[in-house]
Structure 1
């Protein structure tokens, strides 16, 4: 009988140790805002656009909401979470006015190549040179992490753009991807997921391949609550599509709302025992946009000056609170993938170097 009791006690102790070990393991939430310019992130509403009637329906209303006299005030009213909270606990890179530079290494400067670079750690201009729905021949970090026994089934991705199942190569990787106009699936849907499944088909999106970010966000938030993934990728898409439409007012409003959505993800992790103080957040964009001539703010691509200039934000576990970097530095989007692998203690694939990870300490 004693032996049996000891065996039960040992099993219980092992279970407790395993649970605590899991809680103490780093988790990562990677977030992208499609095509958000570094200019708005660091200086707020553009003075050449905010009252430009070609791109703004209600110039007076938009100016009242987002215009302030200084760049610091404008960016804070546009991105209150980033500039009032993240600035104090994390790092914000990419203000080229202060010689902090973040660039793409791919030369395409549009979405699929940008996401491939972020998610794989290297450019592949020979094979990734369009936005076509072609299964990615490269392994993303999502696939690499999902193949590790410690994280199998603990990786998930949510995107507004319907190309993400191909970028992540859902069929090969086994990583569940909810993107475009997909609904939540499975036998244990929450009441919120069921509601979103009813709502999404009857709320029209302005675009044929990109859903509204609110659906992407709330599907992702339900995933955090229900399954507690160790690596979650969330890609918001509205900013890019409103910019392509030439709707600067909607572009700014969407950016402002996305700041609030990111705040909601952070607040959830800080009130959940699985994520609290154990979660690294990284936020970036897949490409920049033009500035000169002014009309190129709507576009991007290799022929658009400045479209390869991006930005990167990090906060949470393992990140020193350096705030806005105001010194000369050169970072690249390709450094994000090795940073995440290092945080999760994953063996690096041959094409990536651990030395390329961002130094966030």
Structure 2
């Protein structure tokens, strides 16, 4: 379960273990891109890539990489379909018509120039790793306000048109410098297309396919890059529709090219048919790395980014079991469901009142009438949910997920049917967005919610026992709590956020912030406080983007001397997004 985990219930576990469990239950989209790598497979025609229904020449891209990202089936070069113009268009976000022999610079600023000038990025964070020397013009433009002083570093292989050597150069650059922004050209496919025969062209395309797959695996194995890097795989141009040996005009074979994006901000296993063009890549990278591309004429490729969106949901009059299917800027019950006439109740053997809600959790909430409401936030397309032995009240994803797609952490876990509520309990075959569900487990563990069917679905048996009744009905039990630690607001935040908590006695109060490895990064409070409600501000301007956790511990006077047991001990997650 994402979010709140009370350490008072885990006194025999380490604090680091708590963090690791929270991280493992995190959402796929919640990381932020810090690095971008562009890999251009030079001169690959669409009919041999995404346009081939067998995908025989790109098995690694199609079978291994595509499910991890978003592919674009209507991506085009609407400009000059030559190598230097195509690459320059990718890097500038403007249609470039320049000499194809390496004798002319781009006339608008490149991504390297924008990034270095706005972010004060050193040259070593910006690399051009080439498979052909004439592309050394990509490092900078001839624009008067930018130019060489803001350019990237060029690294050219000693073996032109050999993608294997180019890959080794890319790996060396990553290992040594970890550039924030890099483009590499895999030149062999285009060279083989010009030289022929057909088998040579397709062989080099298959090799490029293996190389970009190896590059992605290398990125994901690098601690600095893993889960922080977006890889963009595309082409500079295609080839003539009727003659694969040449290119350079406006035929569909030359213009229709491929685009695949994968990384922490890109939806997974998505095929997008909206038409985009080469000039759209630059502003999209600017959005990912948070810098402006002033002269770009393209549009941000929004389907490749996980951006906040709004959805409207319906609820019935009276009690509803609800979950929050998006990561909203505020997870307060009063802001998500302002018309509710009850508290929000989670379940842990008894009902618990909750002011701040979490993704992946089901809540009982009562409404005065049937109505619609809108939630705005980031989509949650996969989740890991902790369950205990007995009844569990769980949440759902942004998209429907069949029960048969749910996996578990143990082959021995057996579940009841899933129950939804609509005046009475009803057996569900699909978890719908914004709904909560009861499920009974024979043991503690984790459930894996994923829109992609699992090879090992969890075992489900019929359950004759009904789930617990709603709160305030006969047979239900509610625990009232006086202490509270609310979700920080705003969240995500940049650079400051507020923590609100309540204590009920004159007690030693400790509030600390930790990074994802459990290392303390800030002590915000460590003193005796009187009963009451408090707000504490944290300015994180000196900290990098990412996940953090804040922990509130409250000790009675005698306990504070030994630190053996806190009266109240709770941890929550927050996201710094610069």
Partner of 1:134: 104
Partner of 2:128: 157
Alpha-carbon distance, 1:354 to partner: 7.9
Instruction: Select the residue among 272, 288, 310 that pairs with 1:343.
Output: 288
Partner of 1:112: 84
Alpha-carbon distance, 1:156 to partner: 0.8
Partner of 1:102: 75
Unaligned runs of 5+ in 1: 1-22, 45-70, 95-100, 182-199, 201-209
In the TM superposition, what whole-angstrom CA distance separates every residue of 1:206-228 from its partner, at most 9, and x where no partner exists?
xxxx4311221101111111111
Does the aligned pair in 2 maintain the 1:164–1:179 contact within 8 Å?
A: no
Q: In the aligned structure 2, how far is the partner of 1:245 from the partner of 1:353?
A: 35
Whether 2:214 is the aligned partner of 1:264: answer: yes
TM-score by length of 2: 0.44
Alpha-carbon distance, 1:129 to partner: 4.8
Partner of 1:37: 45
Q: In the aligned structure 2, how far is the partner of 1:306 from the partner of 1:318?
A: 31
Q: In the aligned structure 2, how far is the partner of 1:279 from the partner of 1:302?
A: 34
Partner of 2:63: 84
1:1-361 alignment to 2 at 5 Å? 26-44=34-52, 71-72=53-54, 75=55, 77-94=56-73, 101-106=74-79, 108-125=80-97, 128-149=98-119, 151-152=121-122, 153-169=124-140, 172=148, 173-179=150-156, 181=158, 200=159, 210-292=160-242, 296-302=243-249, 304=251, 306-325=253-272, 327=273, 329-349=274-294, 351-352=295-296, 355-360=299-304, 361=306
In the TM superposition, what whole-angstrom CA distance separates every residue of 1:100-158 from its partner, at most 9, and x where no partner exists?
x211131x211111111111001033xx2543422333221122223344532311111
Counterparts in 2 of 1:43 and 1:309: CA distance versus 1, 3 Å:
closer
SS at match of 2:185: strand
Q: In the aligned structure 1, how far is the partner of 2:303 from the partner of 2:40?
A: 20
Alpha-carbon distance, 1:169 to partner: 3.4
Counterparts in 2 of 1:269 and 1:331: CA distance versus 1, 3 Å:
same
Q: In the aligned structure 1, how far is the partner of 2:262 from the partner of 2:33?
A: 16
Q: In the aligned structure 2, how far is the partner of 1:150 from the partner of 1:276?
A: 24
Counterparts in 2 of 1:356 and 1:25: CA distance versus 1, 3 Å:
closer
TM-score by length of 1: 0.69
SS at match of 2:303: coil
Q: Which has the higher contact order (CA 8 A, sep 6+)?
A: 1
Alpha-carbon distance, 1:353 to partner: 6.0
Does the aligned pair in 1 maintain the 2:106–2:138 contact within 8 Å?
A: yes
Give the structure with the larger strand fraction.
Answer: 2
Alpha-carbon distance, 1:78 to partner: 2.4
- Alignment RMSD, CA only? 2.3
Alpha-carbon distance, 1:230 to partner: 1.1
Q: In the aligned structure 1, how far is the partner of 2:289 from the partner of 2:120?
A: 10
Does the aligned pair in 1 maintain the 2:32–2:265 contact within 8 Å?
A: no
Counterparts in 2 of 1:144 and 1:37: CA distance versus 1, 3 Å:
same
Q: In the aligned structure 2, how far is the partner of 1:38 from the partner of 1:103?
A: 10
Q: In the aligned structure 2, how far is the partner of 1:25 from the partner of 1:302?
A: 36
**Matched positions, count:** 268
Unaligned runs of 5+ in 2: 1-30, 142-146, 307-578
SS at match of 1:312: strand
Moved more, 155-164 or 138-147: 138-147
Greater C-alpha Rg: 2
Does the aligned pair in 1 maintain the 2:281–2:298 contact within 8 Å?
A: no
Counterparts in 2 of 1:305 and 1:92: CA distance versus 1, 3 Å:
closer
Alpha-carbon distance, 1:341 to partner: 1.0
Q: In the aligned structure 2, how far is the partner of 1:314 from the partner of 1:25?
A: 12
Moved more, 113-122 or 167-176: 167-176
Q: In the aligned structure 2, how far is the partner of 1:308 from the partner of 1:36?
A: 11
Does the aligned pair in 2 maintain the 1:335–1:358 contact within 8 Å?
A: no
